Amino acid sequence: MAMTMQTSDLRIALFSGNYNYVRDGANQALNRLVEYLLRQGAQVRVYAPTVDEPAFEPQGDLVGVPSVAIPGRAEYRIPLGLSKENRADLEAFKPNIVHTSSPDPTGHAALKWARKRNIPVLASVHTRFETYPRYYGLGFTEPWIEGILRRFYNRCDGLVAPSQSQIDTLREQGMHDDISIWSRGVDRTIFSSDKRDLEWRRSLGIADDDIAIVFLGRLVMEKGLDIFSETIVQLRKKQLPHKVLVIGDGPARGWFEKALPGGIFAGFQTGADLGRALASGDIFFNPSVTETFGNVTLEAMACGLPVVASAATGSKSLVIDGKSGGLVENGTANCFADAIAPYLSDTSLCKEHGAAGEKRSLEYSWDAINQAVADTYIRLIEARAS
């Protein structure tokens, strides 16, 4: 009888459009996965664009691929495929699985390379790429982009996505029929309700009895900054007192500051400072529709905050409507304001729903979650071998 493959038998070639040069939820999840796989004795080689001063040190061996800066968003780079040196490196490494995390030209080249050699390919879906154009007045291109994604994903052996709601969306779009879950964990040492710091709040001008609505994320339009600020306008019209606490920075900060007069901008925070800032808020409001999971939603729950979010994203798999927050079906500012309003007039509801969210967040442990990806690799390798 054939021996079952072990995690330590894996040789993974991982392709990423942004592995460590700008910090975001997706690349932190990939780095955490690689750290776990290396700990289990697997071999991993990562192919991604590199820069002189990346946001953080990469996990595993990182091989640079050809890339160019994105016009108008120079901090991001588009990978341009695989160089002759990249191909030689791949041949020498001899992966038994290819993992691609972005449907960019390098992801396409990696897929073609693996297909030629009968090596299985797993694609992880981290963002809803087809929704991005609507933030730049290009919504009409969505069906076209969806078609390109469908062709790419259906040539892979399987997909992993971070939430059940995202898997349902991908199935509806015809992206693949083999899609399993690669959820996200939360770092308890950083995110927890006991990190709340009243002194820190006071230093920003937030009184102990103020209710602070939190925005957390990179300040770019596709995070739903327009809907967030319109919602705050609606709450002010309803004369519901509150404060707005913005954690994060980015190219749209100037726009956001103008749109949120009186908003408190705490800037970019990381590690323990981020945990403290998040736990020091009272309600987490995440209007974005581009997220497949919403790491920030899980982190806010772990900090004991009720979450109001769009039902069109991965938050839907995390937040229980009416128990740990509010999910809004059609993401208009009025609907979001209606969902936030009860928390502004009832602090006990805030605490009750925040505690329920924190309890639910305990289900997400990183090692178990990352082993599920390793198990998917093994299943795809064995399926192709047979």
pLDDT of residue 130: 47
Q: Binning pLDDT at 50, 70 and 90, where does residue 284 land?
A: very high
Q: At what angle do helices 366-385 and 25-39 cross, to 10 degrees?
A: 70
Q: Is the distance from CB of 378 to CB of 7 less than 8 angstroms? A: yes
Q: What percent of the chain has pLDDT above 90?
A: 72
Cα distance between residue 100 and residue 275, in whole Å:
30
| Domain at 7-185+365-385, CATH from 3.30.230.70, 1.10.10.1100, 3.40.50.2000, 3.40.1710.10 | 3.40.50.2000
Q: Report residue 85: phi and psi, to 5°.
A: -65, -40
Kindly tell me if the per-residue pLDDT of 117 is higher than 80: yes
Cα distance between residue 356 and residue 323, in whole Å:
7
Q: Is the distance from CB of 142 to CB of 183 less than 8 angstroms? A: no
* Radius of gyration of the chain, Cα coordinates, nearest whole angstrom: 21
Kindly tell me if the per-residue pLDDT of 305 is higher than 80: yes
Cα distance between residue 355 and residue 351, in whole Å:
6
pLDDT of residue 294: 67
> How many residues are present in the chain?
386
Cα distance between residue 256 and residue 284, in whole Å:
17
**Is 69 or 109 the better-scoring residue by pLDDT?**
109
pLDDT of residue 1: 39
Which spans in 327-365 are helix H? Answer: 333-345, 347-361
Q: Is the distance from CB of 157 to CB of 120 less than 8 angstroms? A: yes
Cα distance between residue 325 and residue 180, in whole Å:
26
Write out the two tokens for 242.
């509150």
Cα 72 off chain centre by: 22
Write out the two tokens for 276.
């403290």
Residue 50: name the closest of 30, 64, 62 by CA. 64
pLDDT of residue 330: 80
Q: Binning pLDDT at 50, 70 and 90, where does residue 383 land?
A: very high
Q: Binning pLDDT at 50, 70 and 90, where does residue 147 land?
A: confident
**Mean confidence (pLDDT) of the chain:** 91
Sequence spans of domains, the chain:
7-185+365-385, 193-361
Lowest mean pLDDT among 168-177, 240-249, 265-274, 357-366: 357-366
Cα distances (Å, whole numbers) of residue 121 to 15, 255, 263, 376: 11, 41, 46, 11
**Is 70 or 60 the better-scoring residue by pLDDT?**
60
Q: Binning pLDDT at 50, 70 and 90, where does residue 260 land?
A: very high
pLDDT of residue 128: 55
SS3 42: coil
Kindly tell me if the per-residue pLDDT of 326 is higher than 50: yes
Q: Do 7-185+365-385 and 193-361 come out as alike in CATH topology?
A: yes
pLDDT of residue 73: 80
Residues 74-108: pLDDT tens digits? 788 888 999 999 999 999 999 999 999 999 999 99
Q: Which residues contact 151 (CB under 8 A, 6 or more apart)?
A: none
Cα distance between residue 355 and residue 357, in whole Å:
5
Q: Binning pLDDT at 50, 70 and 90, where does residue 133 land?
A: very low
What DSSP character marks residue 57? P
What DSSP character marks residue 141? G
SS3 65: coil
| Domain at 193-361, CATH from 3.40.50.2000, 2.130.10.30, 3.10.20.30, 3.30.465.10 | 3.40.50.2000
Residues 191-219: pLDDT tens digits? 999 999 999 999 999 999 999 999 999 89
Residues 12-46: pLDDT tens digits? 999 999 999 988 888 899 999 999 999 999 999 99
Mean pLDDT of 48-65: 94
pLDDT of residue 239: 94
DSSP output for 182-230: ------TTT--GGG--HHHHHHTT--TT--EEEEES---GGGTHHHHHH
